[in-house]
Structure 1
Amino acid sequence: MKFQDLLAYKKGFDLAMKIFNISKSFPKEETYSLTDQIRRSSRSVCANMAEAYKKRLYQKLFISKLTDSDAENSETQTWLEFALACEYINQETFEELTPDSIEIGKLTI
């Protein structure tokens, strides 16, 4: 088994790609702030899961990386709230993405 086979990784990757595609429509002035941050945090969820998987033999390191993954997921949720408040995404999109992020969080802890 490889880390790409993990359900949490697959769901995290799918969410990161949804966010990437949605964020393409964010205003240019957000390129180096909201757009960059939401893309980075959503991608970091998977990157930290991959690192955790490779460190699974070392319990403290494994837990540390999973904690990092969960923290990045929470950051992504925060950026989704900002995107909604700034009207870069609508309520429907927010309500589609947020439960996905919550589910990923449950899978990583």
Structure 2
Amino acid sequence: MHVYSFEKLDVWKEAIKLAAKTYQITELFPNEEKFGLTSQMRRCSVSVSSNIAEGTARLTQKDRAHFMTLAYSSALELLNQALISKELGFISEENFKNIRFEVESITNKINSLRNHFLKS
């Protein structure tokens, strides 16, 4: 079986785990949030790893860097929505801290990857 370059990236692996965790956490949200925060948080969490994967397939370094920016933005969008969810009492302080910690780790790695592409 062929392994694509993005599958070798630690940041992509972390982003996949973050998406899975986001799905688990939002499973506990109220039913009326199914098409609100639940949907938004799930989509942007999936978008992080998706943009990393898509970016590695781009031909130019500038294009690759652009997709890393999109992945970074999606991670921050997730953090913002987690903050709102915490304020509304949908997620615990512990789950919020876990998301925040993972977002910080992922965004640091994405930023390094983006800078690498811009310097190449």
Shorter-chain TM range is: over 0.9
1:37 equivalenced with 2:50 (yes/no): no
Aligned position for 1:93: 95
- Listed one character per residue, the Cα deviations across residues 58-85 of structure 1 (whole Å, up to 9, x for unaligned) are 0111111010000000000001101101
Could you tell me how far 1:2 is from its partner in structure 2? 2.3
- Helix, strand or coil at the partner of 2:90: coil
Corresponding residue number in structure 2 for 1:84: 86
Larger Cα Rg: Structure 1 or Structure 2? 2
Moved over 6 A (4+): none
Superposed CA RMSD: 0.9
Identity of aligned residues (%): 29
TM-score of the superposed pair, with normalisation by structure 1: 0.95
Alpha-carbon separation, structure 1, partners of 2:8 and 2:87: 35
- Counterpart for residue 102 of structure 1: 104
1:50 is aligned to 53
Aligned length: 108
Whole-Å separation in 2 of the counterparts to 1:41 and 1:3 = 18
What is aligned with 2:29?
26
One-letter amino acid of the structure 2 residue matched with residue 11 of structure 1: E
**2:110 is aligned with what amino acid?**
T
Taking the aligned partners of 1:90 and 1:22, their CA distance within structure 2 comes to 9
Rounded to whole Å, the distance in 1 between the matches of 2:95 and 2:62 is 37
Partners of 1:100 and 1:28 lie apart in 2 by 26
Q: What is the correspondence of 1:53-64 to structure 2 with a 5 Å cutoff? A: 53-55=56-58, 57-64=59-66
- The corresponding residue for 1:10 is 13
Name structure 2 gaps, 5 residues minimum. Answer: 112-120
Query: 1:3 Cα shift?
Result: 0.8
Give the alignment's TM-score, normalised by structure 2. 0.87
Which residue matches 1:65?
67
